[in-house]
Structure 1
Amino acid sequence: MKTIAIINGPNLNLLGKREPDVYGDESFETYLKKLQSTFNGVSLEYFQSNIEGELIDKLQDVGFSYDGIILNAGAYTHTSVGIGDAVKAISTPVVEVHISNTFSRETFRHTSYISPHTKGIIIGFGLESYKLAITSFID
């Protein structure tokens, strides 16, 4: 059985409440249950934090033993050299995901310090971005 960590960054704990026109009206916990039933042969571990250092600690914790990591670092994507360096330092492949199309938003969101160190990027497919990322690890 494959083990995949889903790591979400700042403000993603507000999914379902925060800007539903951009992020939808479903909480991540509700969506995670759907993912777990869809991918019942995959062990999905979920972690969310609004704190940059906790995200780095989690990447280092799972980054040498899991089969994959799905990372939505939220706004830290565009500001955190530290998270980018953590992704570069680990051996577990990482897929960067974003719910919204970051390229249709503010210009500062067009730069990622994470992307150069990832297996791939999935942007703009809503919560389904996570499903696509899981599929990339099992196909």
Structure 2
Amino acid sequence: MQRPTIFVLNGPNLNLLGQREPEIYGSATLADIGAMLAERADQLGVTVDMRQSNHEGQLVDWLHEAQATGAKAVLLNAGAYTHTSIALLDAIRAISVPVIEVHLSDPATRETFRHHSYVALGAVDQVAGLGPQSYLVALDKAAAL
């Protein structure tokens, strides 16, 4: 029997993790987080399909693909698009696949413009402020859906 797939979608600038503002985002790279997720996914009996793009439309396309391929869930760290993208909100609302919003830092404790999340308006849950552990907690939640 094929394992359920959970998409892990990462938005702009997350390709620079480990280099970009480590005092906020930590020293783990996106590859480090991917390795942690793959190990946890194996324990949970699911598969992760982890991707990153700096382009909003690509993230929209991948949300549609999650629906088309029957993904169990999507973990979405939309980066700055969290606070600006009605297109991502519309894509989340257009699919039946549950989306869990993920953030390494806690946007609620940062600049005022980061306090509003369009993603949260469509997501079934949010995990934020735990560094790389945010992804693991979100994966546990997604696998339990």
- The match for 1:69 is 74
TM-score, reference length from structure 1: 0.96
Kindly indicate whether residue 137 of structure 2 is the aligned counterpart of residue 137 of structure 1: no
Aligned to 1:63, the other structure's residue is in SS state helix
Cα displacement (A) at 1:33: 1.0
The amino acid of 2:35's aligned partner reads K
1:44-55 counterparts in 2 under 5 A?
44-55=48-59
- The match for 1:21 is 23
Q: Distance in 2 between matches of 1:31 and 1:55?
A: 19
Q: Superposition RMSD on alpha carbons, in Å?
A: 1.0
Kindly indicate whether residue 47 of structure 2 is the aligned counterpart of residue 43 of structure 1: yes
Percent identity among equivalent residues? Answer: 44
TM-score, reference length from structure 2: 0.92
- The match for 1:95 is 100
Structure 1 segments of 4+ aligned residues over 3 angstroms from their partners: none
The amino acid of 1:13's aligned partner reads N
- The match for 2:5 is 3
- Structure 2: give runs of 5+ residues left out of the alignment: none
Aligned residues: 139
- Structure 1: give runs of 5+ residues left out of the alignment: none
Cα displacement (A) at 1:2: 2.0
Cα displacement (A) at 1:137: 1.8
